[in-house]
Amino acid sequence: MRSRQRMFAAVMRLLLKCLRLGRRRRFKLVRQVEQLWHYGHLCLRSLLYNSFTNGDVVLDSLFEPVYWLVDHVTRWFGVVFVALVIGLTSSIVAIVYICLLPLILQTYTPAWICWHLAYGHWNLIMIVFHYYMAITTSPGHPPQAKNDLTGVSICRKCIAPKPARTHHCSICNRCVLKMDHHCPWLNNCVGHYNHRYFFSFCLFMTMGCIYCSISGWEMFRDAYAAIERMKLLDKERLQVAANQTYYQTPPPTFSFRQRAFHKSVVYLWVLCSSVALALGALTLWHAALITRGETSIERHINRKERQRLQKKGKVFRNPYSYGSWDNWKVFLGVDMPRHWLTRVLLPSPHPPHGTGLSWDLPPCVTEQHTPLLAI
């Protein structure tokens, strides 16, 4: 009897000891999990802590995958966009030479024929020249050696010196001198050395589209009316075939050449008018930026700086603006009056003022403007 009681007591003690050990281990495991959780939370906060963090930073971080996708799509589709520009422009030129030019030579007076031939070919030469130069000219990149530059910042992505007005292009993955934007229609950045080519291409392309739209308005109306007549005649022909009235004379048919001619004229006018509106708005936007002496990126930077100084009672002055007229002379590279003809109205590969590394006063500026922040 006593032996049974002793055995029962020993079993109970062993069972209680096991329960205590399990409870201690369970509590120890819970404490370890809590410690790991607090440690991980503290590490995450220390890594993400930034005194400048705000809603804009968080929003940019959330949209980073979208930016990455757009950058890569733009990089790989740049060649497609360039081919599209060349193809559409070539189609318009082919329609003009094949369809419209013979009609102009037959119906217009000699004075109007000379005007159309001179202006049309001059505009075409300017478009082709400036587009070729814009896509083949490098926008300019800062040197990688730190000894070549003084008093500049460091690009956080390139880890290299970054001169004034230089910005990093995420698509080209390089810093660009006086960067304006990355243009997918050029498959190239618009920067210090090809900014004039880009703007001139936009300007002359807009002028050419407006010229085609105005000159071809009457032809467009006639071609559109002819296409509507084609549709009505096709409908009548189907009705005659359905009724099988052999005594009735079938309506006349349009030849393939006539159909192609009318549809080509409509295509030309619609495409030129659309491009004139869209590209004309872009050209006016860049003309306003050039007048103020700033790029597309600098406009946003200057606007924020202007608002910041306005709160302090100060006035912001763009240090790279020399006045509206002088800004245009610097941008176009006009140093003397004859340059308006040789460098603006005729194709010219002359380089811009300066190297894009420093911004000294150009020689064509009539008077020096104080590039300071006035109180």
Per-residue pLDDT at 326 exceeds 50: yes
183 catalytic per annotation:
yes
pLDDT band at 371 (very low <50, low <70, confident <90, very high): very low
- Residues with Cβ within 8 Å of residue 30, at least 6 apart in sequence: none
Helices (H), the chain: 2-48, 55-62, 64-95, 101-107, 110-136, 195-215, 217-243, 256-292, 296-311, 324-332, 339
Average pLDDT value for residue range 322-332: 92
**Pick the residue with more confidence: 316 or 21?**
316
pLDDT band at 372 (very low <50, low <70, confident <90, very high): very low
218 in Cβ contact with 113 (< 8 Å):
no
Q: Which of 183, 202, 209, 272 is catalytic?
A: 183
- Mean residue pLDDT across the chain: 83
Average pLDDT value for residue range 45-65: 65
pLDDT at res. 375: 31
Q: Which residues pair with 190 in a beta bridge?
A: 181
Closest residue by Cα to residue 92 from 338, 243, 270, 218: 270
pLDDT at res. 173: 84
**Pick the residue with more confidence: 368 or 298?**
298
208 in Cβ contact with 216 (< 8 Å):
no
Question: Percent of the chain at pLDDT above 90?
Answer: 42
pLDDT in tens, 125-150: 999 999 999 999 999 998 876 665 65
The CA distance from 207 to 84, in Å, is 20
Average pLDDT value for residue range 236-253: 59
pLDDT in tens, 14-49: 666 665 655 555 567 777 778 888 877 777 776 666
Cα Rg of the chain (Å, integer) = 36
Nearest 5 degrees, angle CA 359-CA 361-CA 367?
A: 150
Tell me if the pTM is above 0.95.
no
Q: Which residues pair with 182 in a beta bridge?
A: 189
Per-residue pLDDT at 1 exceeds 60: no
Per-residue pLDDT at 362 exceeds 80: yes
pLDDT at res. 252: 59
Per-residue pLDDT at 215 exceeds 80: yes
